Structure 1
């Protein structure tokens, strides 16, 4: 009885921590938009401040259960490199197609993760993957708004850098989803070679996350900008490639601190804590609450981001594909899955 009570108590704690982490993740895209920093600058600040926040906990973990081994460090750094690309591309996607839609596009990782596991680990891919993958891709294209007419994109620029803004935003969001899948694959391998460390892998990954946005600062030409943002009066200017946004204020810094602590350090640590202790199918189902909350509630209330009919259908397709790939339908109908699908994030 004592063991059962301890297990239930441990699971309850894991569920609570996981839910807090998921809710924090649901606000990350809106917080990026509210902080209004230049995309690559935003990543550096978010990750850098978050890393400083994590360091005391990483040191404490190191003293309690030991250092992360060399393989764990290498895999964490490799994972962090791709997560840095993910964050940078995702930030651009947030400004180009909206915080809610960008959160949905990120789910492209459910195609990438199983594919990598199949190619490099010889893990079996369920037959359903070959049905889900094209549906997922169609859903991503619909969600990005590239099938909508120009009239439905009123209130902002139609093109950026000579490309349709919906197409560019969808490409950025898709790059983000691909890199997120690579990160999940590598971080999963890292979790298999450590002794239960959670904070240390995140700290090493955070260090590597700074590489991609730093390189992009030199490519973009704008540089590290702490004075002006992207949006003007909450809207993307008509020529965002040449127009700087509103001056950075104390409120912008406040939202950046919130993003770095709650949306970066706490959210990712809490989700990782719950993910390694709970059933992966249940975790996958709960994780769906994050993009659903962002696109259906938070983005609508904070920014008035109302998806078009085609985008709503795309969102439904994407979320349905994620749910099916993670065997949520079997959980709902009381069937136990025989497959250990590598698609679970």
Structure 2
């Protein structure tokens, strides 16, 4: 018979995802996110509308799931919820800027530009947790930035009809905000809760994207069934499922490893954009994409 003291030492129940291997979780999350830009472009709505509605639609699924998780696991620590809120505010900025980048340079290139977070994430880790990215990171950083400039079309030949200068500006801004979200998610993660932090972050992202979108592009709350359908699919897979999988993974992976696994996003997005949306990046843009992929692969190789 177990004594009272022993019962009080038992750990809180853990969620299934919290115990799963982190690498497959990160790979699955990247696959879900890679299709998000395609769905945003297919919806045809402006950046503010896309960002705000994706949060609202996601909350319809997240709120009841998060309440069930709270009933099963108990409340999430207050300190962790603060990380969730701040991370979500940055995520809202990322959503608006990224959606505008999709309109300016296309879904595939916008996802490549988002990978500026790979350069920012280790810098945040260095500044806050003193985790040094290593000499290989510093050697590769200029190559990564050159690749981003070529992929956007800011250097070289852009895809006809695109807006490379504004596209790289908004894409880079989205990448910086996304890096902040990933970093804060890693700092506040590691617990049993997987749905509650995503729900809180999505709520904060909805507020931020709603304010920014209303001031900048305007928000259409009823864009039609077609756009709503595409945004619903994107919200369920590219946001709810992706972020639920990503949170437990990032909490247990080194910063550079996380960045390497997230590299699947631009590769898959490029394939989807060319195959299903008829996007035709130029030769210099493809070269930029290759540089980005090689730079991140080189930075995150074993032995770093």
Aligned pair in 2 of structure 1 residues 259, 142: CA closer, same or farther (>3 Å)? same
Residues 90, 177 of structure 2: 8 Å contact kept? yes
The equivalent of 1:224 in structure 2 is 219
Higher helix share: 2
Determine the structure 1 residue equivalent to 2:169. Answer: 171
Query: What TM-score do the two structures reach when normalised by structure 1?
Result: 0.76
Residues 283/292 of structure 1: CA separation in 2 closer, same or farther (3 Å cut): same
Selected match of 1:120 from 113, 128, 132: 128
Give the Cα–Cα distance (whole angstroms) in 2 for the partners of residues 86 and 281 of structure 1: 21
Match of 2:154? Answer: 146
| C-alpha deviation, 1:178, in angstroms | 0.7
RMSD: 2.3
Change (3 A) 1:129 1:80: same
On the 8 A contact 2:26/2:249 being kept in 1, the answer is yes
Aligned residue in 2 for 1:204: 200
Match of 1:299 among 246, 267, 273: 273
Which 10-residue stretch deviates more, 20-29 or 99-108?
Answer: 20-29
Match of 1:132 among 128, 133, 140: 140
For 1:16 and 1:133, locate their aligned partners in 2 and report how far apart those are by CA, in whole Å.
Answer: 27
Deviations 1:142-178 (A, max 9, x none): 11101234xx543x3x6xxxxxx21100110000111
Tell me the CA shift for residue 25 of structure 1: 1.4
State the Cα distance separating 1:326 from its structure 2 match. 2.1
CA deviations 1:167-216 (Å, max 9, x no partner) are 10011000011111111111111115xx3211111111111102332222
Which deviates more, 124-133 or 278-287? 278-287
Kept in 2, the 8 Å contact 1:83–1:179? The answer is: yes
Q: Are the aligned partners of 2:107 and 2:269 in contact in 1 as well (CA < 8 Å)?
A: yes
Q: Structure 1 pair 20/115, CA: closer, same or farther in 2 (3 Å)?
A: closer
Shift of 1:96: 0.3
Q: 1:119 to 1:277 in 2, by over 3 A?
A: closer
- Which deviates the most, 203-212 or 20-29? 20-29
1:31 aligns with 2:51: no
TM-score normalised according to structure 2 size:
0.86
- Deviation of 1:223 after TM superposition, in Å, equals 2.4
* Alpha-carbon distance in 2 for matches of 1:34, 1:96: 14
The structural deviation recorded for 1:17 is 5.5
- Deviation of 1:277 after TM superposition, in Å, equals 6.5
Alignment map for 1:42-61 (pairs within 5 Å): 42-61=50-69
Structure 1 residue 69, shift from structure 2 partner: 0.8
Q: Is the 8 A contact 1:107 1:322 kept in 2?
A: no
Deviation, structure 1 residue 62:
1.2
